[in-house]
Amino acid sequence: MRLGSFSSVLALCVCLSGNGCSKGITRSTVAFVLLVRGDAVFGNAERNDFQPVTSKSKIRVGDIVRTSDGASINLALIPGAFVQLSGNSEIKIEKLTLTKDGNDTAEHILDREAWIRLNRGRIVCSFSQSDKTASEFGITTGQITLRPDSDCLFSVWTDGTTSRATCGRGEVSASADVQPPLKIAAGYFSQRPTASKEPIAASSDARAQMDITIALNAERELMDQAAGW
């Protein structure tokens, strides 16, 4: 009995010492293009190295994505996180990682993370949390940071000085540097900067109502394409 107990303790110590019993392997991944309409480009802004977005494009961490007037792009970021970028918009891919239990391609995913910065325009985000995989997903602008609190659908718009986040389904958490976080429930929106300390009903604002309409239409398309992806 003592020998068995000692062996168990020894095995636990070895596992915790950094030999990798429970440590996953984290790698950067790419965003996949589900659909592109109109003219859009992606690439490195510092080198001014841009190329047209096609269905075969692989958009990587650090890349800028820009859409022209009337264009749109549907992207799969990580499993469960899908976005639609509207026309006259720009995003930067800040983080895309998957952590797997081991080095084999068939091993289970332990964690997934995606972060995007919206520099201008509008992005619609559809997020679904896996029961077996931890996920972190967020959208930032110059005024606000959005994180899903549950399976949700939300829209973010910014012109660089003002940002508006509108929730169409579920709940999303909105935070800013100088204000405490807000919980934005379905049918509500928050704008930064603003004097309001609470989310506002979308029914009271024509722009927020349009946000929800656009988000619901985008989600139908994203989910159809996600099923094939």
For the segment 104-147, what is each residue's pLDDT rounded down to a tens digit? Answer: 544 566 678 999 999 999 999 999 986 555 578 999 999 999 99
Instruction: Give the Cα separation of 173 and 190 in Å (integer).
Output: 10
- Residue 132's H or E segment, with its range, is none
SS3 129: coil
Instruction: Give the Cα separation of 192 and 143 in Å (integer).
Output: 6
Q: Is 101 among the domain residues? A: yes
Q: In this structure, what token pair is assigned to residue 39?
A: 């003219």
For the segment 15-31, what is each residue's pLDDT rounded down to a tens digit? Answer: 434 444 445 788 889 99
Indicate the pTM of the whole model: 0.83
Tell me the residue ranges of DSSP E strands in the chain: 25-28, 31-37, 40-44, 49-52, 58-59, 64-67, 72-78, 81-85, 90-100, 109-127, 134-140, 145-148, 152-158, 163-169, 171-176, 179-185, 188-192, 200-201
Q: Is 56 among the domain residues? A: yes
State the pLDDT at residue 229: 72
The domain in which residue 48 lies consists of 23-228
Q: Is 200 among the domain residues? A: yes
State the pLDDT at residue 25: 85
State the pLDDT at residue 178: 58
Q: Is 6 among the domain residues? A: no
Given the DSSP bridges, would you call strands 134-140 and 109-127 parallel, antiparallel or unpaired?
A: parallel
Omega cis (within 30) before 193: yes
Helices in 160-205 by DSSP H: which ranges? Answer: none
Count how many domains the chain has.
1
Q: Is 12 among the domain residues? A: no
Residue whose C-alpha is closest to residue 154's, from 186, 180, 130: 186
Question: What's the CATH code of the domain at 130?
Answer: 2.60.120.1440
Q: What angle do CA 113, 92, 168 make, to 5 degrees?
A: 65
Q: Is 17 among the domain residues? A: no
Q: Is 177 among the domain residues? A: yes
pLDDT (tens place) for every residue of the chain, 229 residues total: 444 444 443 343 434 344 444 457 888 899 999 999 999 999 998 888 899 999 999 999 999 999 999 999 999 999 889 999 999 999 999 999 988 776 554 456 667 899 999 999 999 999 998 655 557 899 999 999 999 988 999 999 999 999 999 999 999 999 986 567 899 999 999 999 987 889 999 999 999 999 999 999 999 999 999 887 7
Q: Is 4 among the domain residues? A: no
